[in-house]
Amino acid sequence: MASQIDYVLLSGTANPQLSFQVGKILKTKVYEPVTRFADGEVRIQIPVNIRRRSVIIIQPTCPPQVDQSIMELILMIDAAKRASASEIIAIIPYFGYARQDRKDRPRVPISSSVVARLIEHAGANRICTVDIHSDQEQGFVSTPWDNLYASFCLVPKIKKLKLKNLVVASPDKGGVPMATAFAKRLKATGLAIVYKERDVHLNDSAASLDMIGDVKGKTVLMVDDLVSTASTLCNGADLIKLRGAKNILAAITHGIFSQDALERIASSPIDKLFITNTVPQREEVLKSKKIEIVSVAPLIAEAIKRIETGESISEKLIL
């Protein structure tokens, strides 16, 4: 078992702000080993001795440069392995390609599996993600994989609002376990489920069909792991409002905000949207009056402490 101080914290370029927040909580220096060669290729050089030390790499593989983030991560892992690190832990707050977790049409790859195997083959001894899109992705590799839940940070934030007559809603049936967990921890009065039928030929486009649950006169909290185009979220919010909800809030782990997502959210009946900082946000998101960002740095820092001291992660950090 590694000692609590016997590790080196590395950050890629995908979300250094989050890495430094984690380092501040842990009172540990964060090293940035990534630069570029003149031709644009990734250059990695870890600036300190890591022989027989635990190396922890924080690098979400997120937009706007998903593939570059993956390459940085793989090369940092390889550099640590070749420098004789005792263990290499890849902390990937947002796991790129996670939604491509199955064959949903003919002649397509299972991209999430490919990326996971690349990380494993590079030399990672442990993978740690936050709200991975599908739990079964942890089985794509034999490397230990801890999936943390952003509710560790989101639930306390929502509790401070002291919401009355709260109903927690899932925008699709796949999110029911997440909504159930939130409802339990927030002591909600009910649970609602919006059903949708996704057309795989229309990329991220989705259509809400119907809903189970009573939301009339209630404050509704919609929860999900990710918001991309915001079609699913806003279509669900429209239906919930149509069914008589008094107020609508949303708590979503990963804010991607592609295409016209911000415009959809601005014109939707959603009063407040909480997202985390697993993905760095552009200026328009930061300026939005509807969107508030909650840091997952305390969650990641606590996970690192528990991994390095051999304590249980599931006891506190996994719902």
- The pLDDT tens digits for 42-84 are 999 999 999 999 999 999 999 999 999 999 999 999 999 999 9
Cβ-contact 225, 252 below 8 angstroms: yes
- Token couple for 186: 């927030």
As given in the structure block, the two tokens for residue 307 are 């991994």
pLDDT at residue 200 in the model: 55
7-149+297-317 against 151-294: fold identical: yes
Q: Residues of the chain whose pLDDT is less than 50?
A: 1-4, 208
> Where would I find the beta strands (DSSP E) of 97-243?
126-130, 145-148, 166-170, 190-198, 206-212, 219-227
CATH number of the structural domain 151-294 = 3.40.50.2020
Q: Is the distance from CB of 300 to CB of 93 less than 8 angstroms?
A: yes
Q: What is the pLDDT of residues 296-314, one digit of tens each?
A: 999 999 999 999 999 988 8
pLDDT of residue 1: 42
CA 269 to chain CA centroid, nearest Å: 24
Q: How confident is the model at residue 174, as a pLDDT?
A: 87
The domain locations on the chain are: 7-149+297-317, 151-294
Residue 64 CB partners (closer than 8 Å, separation 6+):
none
Distance CA 174, CA 179 (A): 10
pLDDT at 195: 84
- At what angle are helices 297-309 and 16-26 packed, to 10 degrees? 50
Beta strands in 106-150 (DSSP E): 126-130, 145-148
The terminus-to-terminus CA distance of the chain in angstroms comes to 25
pLDDT reported for residue 43? 98
Catalytic residue numbers read 196
7-149+297-317 maps to which CATH number?
3.40.50.2020
Instruction: Report pLDDT for 3.
Output: 44
Give the SS3 label for residue 183: helix
Q: Convert the pLDDT of each residue in 150-163 to its tens digit.
A: 999 999 999 999 99
pLDDT of residue 176: 94
Alpha-carbon span 87 to 223, nearest angstrom: 35
According to the model, what pLDDT value does residue 208 have?
Answer: 44
Predicted confidence at residue 25, as pLDDT, reads: 98
